[in-house]
Amino acid sequence: MARILPREPTTVQAVSVISGTAIFFFIGLWALVGGPSTGVKMLDSILVDNHYKYFVPLLVPWTAYFVIANWVGWQYYRNS
């Protein structure tokens, strides 16, 4: 059976996934925080709101903090 993908991801694949993710994130962040009104009712309501506008971008550091704090707590529990 022929392999379609290589066993390990190539550098081009890794760079394209990371750059695509970064581009998508920054375009979405610009659309929610500083972009003009779009005409889509749901997106415009998020754009004028001051609470949910910052909710999605702040999920990234808060989630990272939560994961790291839980991991450290679990390590203390296992090694005590």
57 within 8 A of 29, measured Cβ to Cβ: yes
Boundaries of every domain in the chain: 22-78
For residue 2, name the pLDDT band (cuts at 50, 70, 90): low
Q: pTM for the complete prediction? A: 0.46
Buried b (16+ CB within 10 A) or exposed e, 28-37: eeeebeeeee
Whole-angstrom Cα distance, residue 72 to residue 47?
A: 37
Segment 19-64, tens digit of pLDDT: 999 999 888 777 777 778 778 887 777 777 777 777 877 888 999 9
